[in-house]
């Protein structure tokens, strides 16, 4: 492996701010949601009672919705590039899925060069976008129109809200494990949660196709 | 040390995918919001009609105020406040005021105690 001395700006300031905000609201929403569903008094107690936990859940939901919407409107180019990246599936991405990026010990083989996001991250991107939209589209009617919507439709919303929450919590747990704990990929954590930069050598190895498209700025 | 950054290139494909995704989100959210607001409007319409129906029924009643109801006045004169119409008489208070929860057993006892008076 050749040595590349330098660092890559992977995530801009607004992206990192949006990620922080979405992470905090997601934790609040998941925690209060688990408290409601399983009727865990302790979780309600953290927020000063069930009524307050309910308020926190609703208003965290508002921030969870408005935050990314503002980000997209203020950073449309960045959002469009992200959507283009995750919507592009080439044979290299299918090659990554065949070997699971080398993360699973018994799946041997060469991992093909990847974009800014590998095939797993692309699939997670789709899951999060679709999951969040479903949570938003079922959550607000449960709050604002519960008195006027047919009971069967509300029950449908509750079921979708619950099962999508289960899938999202499991997916985010996997995302956290790979991005913050797994020794092969935990360098990503500092990039998204701190200054946005990642070591050029690591980037060239994990995101070769994207790295080759970057421009070098001497400092 | 070198710093690497993305080139500021924005392709037509990226624009179309980004705006397509935004448009799809706006349309789906719009349809959901329309369904919700329509349900709200139907509910408001029902409440308005129900209220109008109740007012309509009330307007058609021959006697619309309890203190002008001759049968009620007679009950007061004959039983609740003999010889006069006194809505806050002691008997009226005890018999007509509603009791709740833990007050009910005492009320039943009291009614039993006055059973012979009523007869």
Q: Which residues of A touch B32 (CB under 8 A)?
A: 137, 141
Please name which of A35, A67, A2, A5 lies closest in space to residue A199, comparing C-alpha atoms: A5
Q: How far is B53 from chain A (nearest CA, A)?
A: 20
Q: Which domain-ending residue is among B44, B61, B78?
A: B61
Assign residue A157 the CATH number of its domain.
1.20.950.20
Query: pLDDT for A78-100, tens place per residue?
Result: 999 999 999 999 998 888 888 88
In the structure encoding, which two tokens stand for residue A194, read together?
């701190």
- Confidence band for B118, pLDDT divided at 50, 70 and 90: low
Please name which of A91, A25, A32, A36 lies closest in space to residue A61, comparing C-alpha atoms: A25
Q: What is the mean pLDDT of residues A53-62?
A: 96
Q: What's the rounded Cα separation, in Å, for the pair A55 and A44?
A: 11
Q: Higher pLDDT residue, A58 or A180? A: A58
Q: Do B76 and B32 share a structural domain?
A: no
Q: What's the rounded Cα separation, in Å, for the pair A198 and A196?
A: 7
Q: Do B57 and B14 share a structural domain?
A: yes
Please name which of A35, A42, A174, A20 lies closest in space to residue A101, comparing C-alpha atoms: A174
Q: What's the rounded Cα separation, in Å, for the pair A196 and A11?
A: 5
Q: What are phi and psi of A7, to 5 degrees?
A: -140, 160
Count: domains in chain A:
1
Between B1, B5, B40, which is nearest A9 by CB? B5
- pLDDT of amino acid A101: 79
A194 has pLDDT over 70: yes
Q: Do B56 and B24 share a structural domain?
A: yes
- Note whether residue B100 is domain-resident: yes
A149 has pLDDT over 90: no
Q: What is the mean pLDDT of residues A33-51?
A: 92
Residue A12 belongs to domain spanning: 7-212
Q: Which domain-ending residue is among B61, B76, B98?
A: B61
Q: Do B106 and B74 share a structural domain?
A: yes
For chain B, say whether A213 makes contact (Cβ under 8 Å).
yes
Q: Do B83 and B110 share a structural domain?
A: yes
DSSP structure class, residue B76: I
For chain B, say whether A149 makes contact (Cβ under 8 Å).
yes
Q: Do B71 and B51 share a structural domain?
A: no
Residue B53 belongs to domain spanning: 9-61
- Note whether residue B71 is domain-resident: yes
Query: pLDDT for B12-68, tens place per residue?
Result: 999 999 999 999 999 999 998 998 889 889 989 999 999 999 999 999 999 999 899
- Note whether residue B3 is domain-resident: no
Q: What is the mean pLDDT of residues A182-196?
A: 84
- Residue in chain B closest to A85 (alpha carbons) equals B14
- Confidence band for A24, pLDDT divided at 50, 70 and 90: very high
- Note whether residue A1 is domain-resident: no
Q: Do B102 and B75 share a structural domain?
A: yes
Task: Enumerate the β-bridge partners of residue A9.
Answer: A197
Strands A197-199 and A6-9: antiparallel
- Note whether residue A217 is domain-resident: no
Contacts 24+ apart (CB under 8 A), A178-185: A178/A103, A178/A120, A182/A103, A184/A102, A184/A103
In the structure encoding, which two tokens stand for residue A38, read together?
């399983």
Q: Could you tell me the CA-to-CA distances from A7 to A183, A191, A195, A215 in Å, in that order?
A: 19, 10, 11, 12
Q: What's the rounded Cα separation, in Å, for the pair A208 and A201?
A: 10
- Note whether residue B2 is domain-resident: no
Count: domains in chain B:
2
Q: Which residues of B touch A146 (CB under 8 A)?
A: none
B117 has pLDDT over 70: no
B114 has pLDDT over 60: yes
- Note whether residue A94 is domain-resident: yes
- pLDDT of amino acid A108: 78
- Note whether residue A72 is domain-resident: yes
Please name which of A36, A38, A29 lies closest in space to residue A65, comparing C-alpha atoms: A29
Q: Do B78 and B112 share a structural domain?
A: yes
* Complex ipTM more than 0.85, yes or no: no
- Confidence band for B119, pLDDT divided at 50, 70 and 90: low
- Note whether residue B44 is domain-resident: yes
- Note whether residue A141 is domain-resident: yes
What's CA B87's distance to the chain center, in Å?
29
Beta-carbon neighbour count of residue A56 at 10 Å? 20
- Note whether residue B37 is domain-resident: yes
Q: How far is B2 from chain A (nearest CA, A)?
A: 4
């Amino acid at each position: 492996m050749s040595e590349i001395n330098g660092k890559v700006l992977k995530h801009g300031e607004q992206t990192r701010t949006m990620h922080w905000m979405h992470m905090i609201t997601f934790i609040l929403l998941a925690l209060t949601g688990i408290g409601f569903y399983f009727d865990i008094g302790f979780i309600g107690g953290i927020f000063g009672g069930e009524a307050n936990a309910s308020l926190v859940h609703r208003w965290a939901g508002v921030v969870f919705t408005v935050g990314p919407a503002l980000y997209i409107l203020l950073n449309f180019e960045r959002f469009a590039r992200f959507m283009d990246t995750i919507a592009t599936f080439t044979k290299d991405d299918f090659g990554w899925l065949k070997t699971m990026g080398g993360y699973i010990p018994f799946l041997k083989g060469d991992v093909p060069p990847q974009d800014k996001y590998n095939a797993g991250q692309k699939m997670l991107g789709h899951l999060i976008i679709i999951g969040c939209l479903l949570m938003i589209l079922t959550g607000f009617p449960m709050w604002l129109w519960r008195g006027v919507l047919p009971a069967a439709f509300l029950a449908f919303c509750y079921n979708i809200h619950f099962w999508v929450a289960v899938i999202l919590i499991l997916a985010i747990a996997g995302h956290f494990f790979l991005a913050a704990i797994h020794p092969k990929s935990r360098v990503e954590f500092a990039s998204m949660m701190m200054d946005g930069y990642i070591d050029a050598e690591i980037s060239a190895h994990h995101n070769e196709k994207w790295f080759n498209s970057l421009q070098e700025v001497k400092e | 040390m070198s710093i690497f950054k993305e080139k500021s290139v924005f392709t037509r494909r990226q624009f179309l995918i980004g705006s397509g995704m935004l448009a799809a989100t706006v349309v789906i959210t719009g349809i959901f919001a329309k369904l919700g607001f329509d349900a709200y409007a139907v509910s408001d319409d029902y409440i308005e009609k129900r209220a109008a129906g109740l007012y309509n029924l009330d307007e058609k009643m021959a006697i619309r105020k309890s203190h002008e109801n001759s049968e009620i006045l007679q009950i007061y004169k004959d039983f609740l406040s003999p010889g006069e119409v006194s809505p806050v008489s002691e008997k009226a208070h005890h018999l007509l005021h509603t009791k709740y929860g833990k007050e009910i057993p005492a009320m039943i006892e009291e009614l039993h105690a006055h059973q012979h008076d009523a007869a």
